Structure 1
Amino acid sequence: MTNETNQTLALLIDGDNASPKIVDGLLAEIANYGTASVKRIYGDWTRPELTGWKDCLLEHSIQPVQQFAYTTGKNATDGAMIIDAMDLLYTGRFTGFCIVSSDSDFARLAARVREQGLIVYGFGERKTPRPFITACDKFVYFDVLDANDPDQSKPKESTAKILSPAFIPSAPRNAGLDETAIDMLSKAIAATAGEDGQANLARVGAHLANQAPDFDARNFGFPRLTDLVEASGIADVKRAGEHPTVVHVRLRNGREVARRA
């Protein structure tokens, strides 16, 4: 699989379904996956609703694509984005696409790009229909992209030491955590654990992404999956190494919990 940070990406933004307030956080998030060598935003730039985008396009080198609304009730922007995406796909220059929209019309596009063996990152609002979310390899909600909040980039203090040769018991379960998320996390750990009950957290994260592309620790107020596991109270954590730190997790009462899951 392509190293995420070395991916060549095409960024396509539906200007009708995204706010310019997310652009800084969006580009910072995409930088975690690779380099967006193409950055385009689509919309009818004669409309006053898109005025906010005009101020940040030059700053971030995003190319605006004009698409007039020829007929009332028909979204010409979607069609233009899909046509351009297919043109870019067939150039063979990209390893992934970033599609920014909350519109279910892009579900088939995302599925088609993945059929070609490319990775699809989706970005949208919480109201985004499930068909588009599940068609992506990973889906990130706009509200976790707030780069203007200085606390967003600061990791929360861990309940465990940075380096530890043994498992550190997790804290009592945070009552505010979503029970569905806890159940998914428990099953993902059980599914990826070895005979000794230990699971590599990277594998757990990959398993969760395959189950639900929008599963993200930040959705629950945690900067990393490690922090979510520790706050869940269902598993113990062990860290090893320095650069990078390898994290293993083990369900409490390991095999017994795994059988119940």
Structure 2
Amino acid sequence: MAQTNDLLAVLIDADNVPPSKIGAVLTEVARFGTASVKRIYGDWTTPQLGSWKTVASQHVISPIQQFANTVGKNATDSALIIDAMDLLYTRRFNGFCIVSSDSDFTRLASRIREEGVTVYGFGERKTPEAFRNACDQFTYLEVLSEPATETPSIPPRRVESPKLRGDAKLVGGLRACVVTASGEDGWANLSAVGSLMRKQQPDFDPRNWGYAKLSDLVKATEMFTLAPRPGGGLQVQARKKGNV
């Protein structure tokens, strides 16, 4: 995870993100650093963005006006991309948070990462894989709960152990990362396993399966052994097949 004093630029595509989720997104962003720039892009003359105006003001997000001058062309995306590159070249930011479910930002995310700057993506589960994989870390809006609201989001239902074991991508990824991170004794630092998983699968998040913590998810698979580390934290070891 990034240091909390990292400066972040948060760029939001108003056309592809529901305003009801932005509070939860900004709470999540605060885990990675300080959102020193918060901008939201769209054609504010259209009635579709009416619900965004109050929310943007409440969270002190600067609205950037972009008229849809040509039918069939997404001028909003272009404005966000141009701003992102301008901000990138200031060398002020440790990370960029791109809030959109649109694959048009795939190349932008890749370009920012080429400069050694971290990219955090936020979008709905429908977000194309290419954009998700172009980010260092991608979080689904569906797993985020709005803080301090009267009607909080219902967290995803926990996936039970048998179904987790049948998730080949999850189990295979965890096993491979445990092997990679393990020492001669076969034990791996759990936090290192989590970091490796996110590098290989940017959208990896225990909350996608209904678990708040990585340790809860790993334990629920019933395919790994968890134990305290001598220096603190947890270590993990894959169980031999037949001992599940």
Same fold (TM over 0.5): yes
* Counterpart code for 1:186: R
* Counterpart code for 2:50: T
Does 1:231 pair with 2:236? no
Question: Could you tell me which of 185, 190, 200 is aligned with 2:179?
Answer: 190
Seen in structure 2, the aligned counterparts of structure 1 residues 79 and 181 have a Cα distance that, compared at 3 Å, is: same
What is the rounded CA distance, in whole Å, between the counterparts of 1:223 and 1:241 in structure 2? 24
Question: Could you tell me which of 231, 236, 243 is aligned with 1:249?
Answer: 236
Q: Which residue of 1 aligns with 2:101?
A: 102
* Secondary structure at 1:176 match in 2: helix
Q: Which residue of 2 aligns with 1:61?
A: 60
What is the rounded CA distance, in whole Å, between the counterparts of 2:213 and 2:121 in structure 1? 19
What is the rounded CA distance, in whole Å, between the counterparts of 2:60 and 2:228 in structure 1? 40
What is the rounded CA distance, in whole Å, between the counterparts of 2:179 and 2:101 in structure 1? 33
Seen in structure 2, the aligned counterparts of structure 1 residues 216 and 3 have a Cα distance that, compared at 3 Å, is: closer
**1:144 Cα deviation from its structure 2 partner:** 0.8
Deviations 1:177-226 (A, max 9, x none): 23321221121112211110100011101110111100110000001111
What is the rounded CA distance, in whole Å, between the counterparts of 2:196 and 2:68 in structure 1? 41
Q: Which residue of 1 aligns with 2:115?
A: 116
**1:146 Cα deviation from its structure 2 partner:** 2.0
What is the rounded CA distance, in whole Å, between the counterparts of 1:201 and 1:4 in structure 2? 19
Does 1:52 pair with 2:51? yes
Q: Structure 1 unaligned segments of length 5 or more: list them.
A: 157-172
* Secondary structure at 1:4 match in 2: coil
* Secondary structure at 2:84 match in 1: helix
Q: Which residue of 1 aligns with 2:206?
A: 217
Residues 145 and 153 of structure 2 are in contact (CA less than 8 Å); yes or no, is this contact kept in structure 1?
A: no
Q: Structure 2 unaligned segments of length 5 or more: list them.
A: none
What is the rounded CA distance, in whole Å, between the counterparts of 1:82 and 1:136 in structure 2? 15
TM-score (norm 1): 0.84
Structure 1 ranges of 4+ moved more than 4 A: none
What is the rounded CA distance, in whole Å, between the counterparts of 2:184 and 2:47 in structure 1? 60
TM-score (norm 2): 0.90
Q: Which residue of 2 aligns with 1:168?
A: none
Aligned-residue sequence identity (percent) comes to 52
Seen in structure 2, the aligned counterparts of structure 1 residues 103 and 3 have a Cα distance that, compared at 3 Å, is: closer
* Counterpart code for 1:92: R
Q: Which residue of 2 aligns with 1:35?
A: 34
Q: Which residue of 1 aligns with 2:4?
A: 5
